[in-house]
Amino acid sequence: MKKAVCILVTVILCLSMICCAAAENSSEEIDYTTGTPWVDIDLIGNVTADTPADPKDNFALWANKDRILSLKIPEGYLTAGDTVDLSEQADADTMAMFHGKVPENHDARLAYDYYYLLTDWATRDAIGVAPLKEMADVVEEIKSLDDLTEYLVHTPGEDRLFCFWRSEDRQDPENPGNSILSLRNSVFFIKDHAEYREMTAEGKYQKEVFASFFQKMLAKLGYSEEEARQKFDNCFAWETMMNSVDPAEGDSSSSEFTNDIDHIRTRNELMAISPNVPLLEALEKADGYPEMEKYFIQDPSFFERLNELYTEENLPLMRDFIILHGILDTAYVLDWESYVLLEECLAAIDHDDDAPALDKASYSETKAYDDVNIFLGWPVARLYVENYTDPRDKERISKLVDEIIHAYYGIIDKADFISEETRAGAYAKLDHLSKNVLYPDSWEPYSFEDVDFASKEEGGSLWEAFRAINKHEHKMAVSKAAGPYDRTVWSGFPFTPNCGYDPSVNGIFIYAAFARGNNYDPGMSDEELYAKVGAGIAHEISHAFDIEGSKYDKDGNINNWWTEEDRAAFLKKNEKLVAYYNAMHPWEGQDFDGENMKGEASADMAALKCILLIAAEKENFDYDAFFRAYADRYACLDTIEAAMIRLMDMHPMNYLRVNATLQQYDDFLNFYGITEGDNMYLAPEDRVAIW
């Protein structure tokens, strides 16, 4: 399984920061124990058995010292703690459930069977690239622009090798209760489209990597070396022409609040943008989408450019674009050689020099689990839920969510910097918040009942299963493109060890794998429940009211529900929070970026306030147990590389998520007798909790 640090930044940025730090400090030894107002206790070596610990000086250290000393960083990671443990447990759980009893549920059985088709290399190697060659040969028969139009219009969507555009449903910004079909540009080899206009050394490198990959794959399909080179040149020439101009900027780009309605085009407007391309015909005849009166166009300039270039002269370029991207899309379900070529290509593009050597045995033990999750996420989720969840836990955590939402009404009610008009908008967001706990209440929207393919034992093949899944996914996409928009449909899978808030649907998602391990067990006390799962849920809900989430309304649209005066006051409070973190240092000479951290930091503070409001209503609430459990949630051990990554993360370092958050509230300060002069004390006028 993936051995990546879950700190939400790229390795390239990490290495860049480390190199900068090394350059700046090459002439002097850094003393990492010089942090202010607290030493970075997360950093390996900063806490020893002799380190004094006092709750009034450094609560995170006092509460977590023993655990920090016991933590060991697993091989392949840069950090240790609950985040890594949850990820490891989710991986182990996923592996184990494919080696238990054969599931009886239809969808769960699909996931089970697909895993064994993925790992059936004897059959995959015997079939080779023959199915892909059959589809590519159809494209090779396109000899004119009329033939290409015929291919796009009359080849069913799931049977086309590739297409020039992508379609998906999304919420209609003009009518949030309904869906609208969204159309956007196709995928190109190089993600940074500016590379096509002025290629850098990185762009040239990526081009060479892809050229090498396609040279080998096209040879497997029977093309000569010269033909393969020409096909890649044609494809890249098409991509270059499609990206030869800067994308058009949105009409509302200068505003803090972007209006999604600006991207809507009527049927006639879409036809006027792209009259030469059979866009609507292909959508309706080949894909099966119903005729619609309006569409959401991500970038109209893309379709204008496509219309300009859709000519007889460019036919060879378009044909090879379809073939090469078809190869890129299907190589991972072909034979072993194709799979390895693709994996090596993508690893090179990502500059992943540490990617492990591939062999069939290790694939079955590691990467196969990722691949089945990608192809059959919801059937895998069904299998996971059947193995690792209990309805009683769903009920308990659902009640916790209701308690937290009720407390947020109290927070909004007492916010003295907003008017009644803005308060009403905040109440509306809470009123319409969708609550998704552990796993879906109904599996119907995620059903694969119409999918059937033969198992390995029945003589099935991965390619047949892949095609059946594609057909199902296409059918589902068409069914969702028109009609009501379901804001409660999950955007992630229950086997994800996380929880989150999605502003585009105004919904909270607590995935089942988040309620595992040190985060949750059925026998934990209420204090532990509130400190761990509760604080996580409250944190995510607070994102509805942070600097970014507050731009979205109750229906998930970017829409300003603030008065001008209230927004100004809100921004001023955020500025104070930024200054608070900018004044801290993990070690002497190293700054924090408060501007980058303000959303996550304010969410931590709002979450704690929310849980403390709930605690105040409980008889005999054990505050010591609660605050210790809250600190334990963030106990971790970082290498210096991990610390450098955290400096760029939107989340404060873990020890700050404890200390800086706790010192905002009298409930904490009073319980431990922390007063002026103590390092954990923060005067009321200096506190920065926004809500």
pLDDT tens digits, one per residue of 603-628: 999 999 999 999 999 999 999 999 99
Report yes or no: 438 and 515 within 8 Å, Cβ to Cβ: yes
Q: Which residue, among 509, 528, 506, has the nearest Cα to 519 in the 3D structure?
A: 528
Indicate whether 9 pLDDT > 70.
no
C-alpha–C-alpha distance, residues 487 and 644, integer Å: 38
Q: Which residues of 585-611 are buried (b: 16+ CB within 10 A; e: fewer)?
A: bbbeebebebebbbbbbbbbbbbbbbb
598 CB-side CA count, 13 A? 23
Q: In what order do the strands lie in the sheet with 264-266?
A: 165-171, 179-185, 294-297, 264-266
Indicate whether 229 pLDDT > 60.
yes
Q: Which residues contact 65 (CB under 8 A, 6 or more apart)?
A: 47, 51, 53
Q: Which residues contact 81 (CB under 8 A, 6 or more apart)?
A: 71, 634, 635, 636, 637, 654
Report yes or no: 599 and 548 within 8 Å, Cβ to Cβ: yes
**Per-residue confidence band for 358, with pLDDT thresholds at 50, 70 and 90:** confident
pLDDT: which is higher, 248 or 45: 45
640-667 mean pLDDT: 97
Q: What radius of gyration do the chain's Cα atoms show?
A: 27
C-alpha–C-alpha distance, residues 237 and 263, integer Å: 28
Q: Which fold has domain 1-27+56-79+391-433+525-691?
A: Collagenase (Catalytic Domain) (3.40.390)
Other Cβ atoms less than 10 A from the Cβ of 204: the count is 11
Indicate whether 89 pLDDT > 50.
yes
Task: Provide the terminal-to-terminal Cα distance of the chain, rounded to the nearest Å.
Answer: 39
Which residue ranges does the chain devote to CATH 1.10.1380.10? 120-359
Amino acid type, 407? A
Which residue ranges does the chain devote to CATH 3.40.390.10? 1-27+56-79+391-433+525-691
Indicate whether 261 pLDDT > 70.
yes
What 8-state DSSP symbol labels residue 585? B
**Per-residue confidence band for 250, with pLDDT thresholds at 50, 70 and 90:** very low
C-alpha–C-alpha distance, residues 403 and 408, integer Å: 9
- Residue 55 class from Cβ within 10 Å (0-12 exposed, 13-18 middle, 19+ buried)? buried
C-alpha–C-alpha distance, residues 509 and 424, integer Å: 24
CA 180 to chain centre: 23
Indicate whether 15 pLDDT > 60.
no
Both structure tokens of 70: 């016991």
**Per-residue confidence band for 21, with pLDDT thresholds at 50, 70 and 90:** very low
pLDDT recorded at residue 12: 33
pLDDT recorded at residue 176: 79
Which helix or strand (DSSP H or E) is residue 270 part of?
A: helix 267-273
Report yes or no: 584 and 36 within 8 Å, Cβ to Cβ: yes
Both structure tokens of 655: 């020890």
What homologous superfamily is domain 120-359 in, according to CATH? Neutral endopeptidase , domain2 (1.10.1380.10)
Report yes or no: 505 and 171 within 8 Å, Cβ to Cβ: yes
Mean pLDDT over the full length of the chain: 92
Lowest-pLDDT range, 141-155, 255-269, 307-321, 652-666?
A: 255-269
Question: pTM for the whole thing?
Answer: 0.87
C-alpha–C-alpha distance, residues 95 and 1, integer Å: 9
C-alpha–C-alpha distance, residues 225 and 218, integer Å: 8
